[in-house]
Amino acid sequence: MVTLTIDDKQVTASKNATIYEAAKAAGIQIPVICHDKKLNPFGGCRMCLVEVEQMKGRQIPACTTPVTEGMIVRTTTDEIIKARKMVLELLLLKHPIDCPVCDAAGDCDLQNLTYEYKVNTNRFQDEKFNWKIDYENPLIERDMNRCVHCGKCARICDEIVSYGAYSFINRGINAKIGTEYDGPLNCEFCGSCVSVCPVGALVSRPFKFKARWWAMNKVKTVCGYCGTGCQLTLGVKDSKVLTTIYDENQGFHNGQLCTRGRWGYQFINSDKRITTPLVKKNGSLQPATWEEALNVVSAKLKEAKSTPDSLAALVSPRLTNEELLLTRKLFKDLLGCDNVDHSAGYAHTALTSGAKESLGYPASPSVVADVQKSDLLLVINADLYQTHPVLGFEINLAVKRQGSAIQIVSDKKGKLSKLPEAKTSIYKPGAELLVINAIAKVILDENLLDSSAQSTGGFSAWQKGLESLSVDQAADQCGIAADEIKAIARNYAKAEKALILLPTGMGYPGHGKELAQAVINLALLTGKVGKEGSGVLILGEKNNSQGAADLSIHPTSGGKSALDIIAGCVSGSIKTLYVAGENPVVSYPNRKLVETALEKVEFLVVQDLFLTPTAAMADVVLPACSFAEKDGTFTSALGAVQRVNRAINPVGESRSDFRILNDLYNAVSGQPAFTDVKAAFQELSGTVAGYAGLSYDTLGDEGSVRPVSGTATFVPVAAAAPATESGKLALVTGSALNHSGTLSVYGEGPMLVCPEAYVELNREDAKSLSISDGDQVAIKSSTGELRLKAKVGSRLPKGVVFAPYHFADASINTVTAGSAVTFVTIGK
């Protein structure tokens, strides 16, 4: 720490701090335009000029100058004020004065500083720029006539997003921010550039002319898409969510969002929302009152109470913790039904079975801060960037800023493969478990294990289970060379801090219990559990997947899993099915089987925001609220319990899942389970491991990382050679960057960029099949057949094809049945 004086105030700051950071921490405001706390100091705008006595009063930029012991700084001398005014005059020289029609008005740093410094005349005169405005991008409008050359867009795109869509082009007075060949912007559409732009050069097209910034209420909450748990601020007017608002001080991610969080909010106020209960009459769904709908449903639940095995519930991990607790109390405690599950029954087993058995708790032993503290990141499947993009930003920062090494083992390449010195080892689809076991065998054979491993429970049995594994044979079977496997093992074992990252989800059937236990075994073998910058991050797919695991929203007393529930509907053993937020027709394996199940079940209730293909088959549809219309908590995959705050009134007659479930509990038992959400959280904190001591009122905006504790043990996991079928392609499924589950297809932003299903092929395979990019192709498997648009590229190895699972039209589960790999033929 060093001590310095700023404007006659003694300040203590880190020796690595800049003058700007020291002043800000002390409550002294220094104006900036080009600075952002996430980005490396740039010093381009010169608004932050200050005087340092030891430098003989020379004006220097505060954002790039480090503090020194005894430094004396003045930030508001007459000369400094004069210099800042001149900077503003120069910035305004070419800047159009079109504030009345600029969407950034009220949120524009240049406008606000011009007002603050009373720059109402300009001594300099010149013609304004007349650059062509880019209207072609569906989400981002670029007007370089307003650009002030702060470089924030180019810097955030390079430093954090690691895409590089922008760069300075030309020189001198003709310099500007340009794109590839100075054409229309074509990127991954995360919107980070719009968030950090200090003026109106980059604006959100979906938000354009919707409202002035000062006319909106700003409501802090948590994103309702993936499990990363990003905090966000919603811009609200007239009980509608109009945009997301950037706040560099919000969350571990400093306000930066991915493409879904930034642009996918439109589903909240979508015209497709269900606004009234629906009850099936004479073969079709008809509008009904809440009283009628709840009476019909509660009567069926009361009837099922005497035969709880004939009742089942499929519940989405998008519900809040309090709503999931109510689900458990209603179905498991009150009705005695253990046929309760979520996420197709397999997408949560990495946590609920794998981690639970291996670590003693259904969660990751590591947290988000470990990513940038690690020496080596071992990523299982390059799709992690697609499933959890903001965590992908953290990985980018770890590699590019902190110098972490990254090793990816995957069935395909991905964006993470393009990071500096990234190593990507491609295995045959379905071979991930064999690869992990082979890495562990190398560590055993070369005696690279940590001294703590042999004293950990289950070690001997686990070691014995690997005795017969030949690394050379495994290499032949999995497709990664033996020397490459050995190098991965040595690098991982020798790294002082190494972190394994494993994405999970309904598009990744192979990322379940066994794979989670295999990577935990690997971390235990090398002593990397419970160590800073090390361990394992098992990443639940949905916004509250971790909460669902913590609350045991799955069978715990011999009940049926999700896929067994579907089978039970087909056989007739399940007579009443309650679906809350899930869309199994589109997202569960084998669409034809699911549709048959929902047709055969005697009584189907669906509680959702939209009339999904699943809801369309229901006997009763209950309109639910989005995350923006209710209060509660989510638990992120990174262990943070965070407040969800109601931003708008419920759309139409929709009700929160909490209210619906509480009303049903009341109808069945004669009294509500809870008086309100706060009471539910109080019970939750007293009954769920890790939540003890947490208070709903004190979670605040930042939330709290709940602790985990348990006894680790090695668990033997057998791995077989991946299956193959001669003459067929190996289809793997997963997530597309712009989508999350089946909810994002109702958001305008994601659908503008990725509007339809597709199948991705390797160029060589496409050439041999005479398929060009954009062709409609037929995909056939033993389960079914469908037609999709072809996307041809170089990401996939020869013989492997990929398809995302989000889309209802031409859904990929038409040809898949729940295996990690589906063998298909493709042709025109």
Domains defined for the chain, CATH in brackets: 2-76 (3.10.20.740), 125-267 (3.30.70.20), 281-345+549-705 (3.40.50.740), 349-539 (3.40.228.10), 729-827 (2.40.40.20)
Closest of 187, 191, 225 to residue 744, by C-alpha: 225
Q: What is the pLDDT of residue 800?
A: 98
Mean pLDDT computed over 339-366: 98
With contact defined as beta carbons under 8 Å apart, do 500 and 485 qualify? Answer: no
Cα atoms found within 13 Å of the Cα of residue 668, Cβ hemisphere only? 25
Rg, C-alpha atoms of the chain? 28
What is the 8-class DSSP label of residue 649? Answer: P
Q: What is the pLDDT of residue 172?
A: 86
Average pLDDT, the chain: 96
Burial 288-327 (b: 16+ CB within 10 A, else e): bebeebbebbbebbeebeeebbbbbbbbbbbbbbbbbbbb
Residue pLDDT, tens place only, 372-388? 999 999 999 999 999 99
Q: Which two tokens stand for residue 503?
A: 């994405």
| 533, 536, 541, 543 alpha-carbon torsion, rounded to 10° | -50
Is residue 158 over pLDDT 80? yes
756's CB contacts (< 8 A; 6+ apart) are 789, 807, 809, 810
3-class SS at 139? coil
Q: What is the pLDDT of residue 57?
A: 72
Burial 511-536 (b: 16+ CB within 10 A, else e): bbbbbbbbbbbbbbbbbbbebebbbb
Is residue 127 over pLDDT 90? no
Residue pLDDT, tens place only, 427-486? 999 999 999 999 999 999 999 999 999 999 999 999 999 999 999 999 999 999 999 999
Cα atoms found within 13 Å of the Cα of residue 127, Cβ hemisphere only? 5
Q: What percentage of the chain exceeds 90 in pLDDT? A: 96
Distance (Å) of CA 811 to CA 395, 662, 803, 816: 31, 34, 9, 10
Is residue 777 over pLDDT 90? yes
Is residue 666 over pLDDT 80? yes
| 138, 139, 143, 149 alpha-carbon torsion, rounded to 10° | -140
Cβ neighbourhood burial of 10 (10 Å; 0-12, 13-18, 19+): exposed
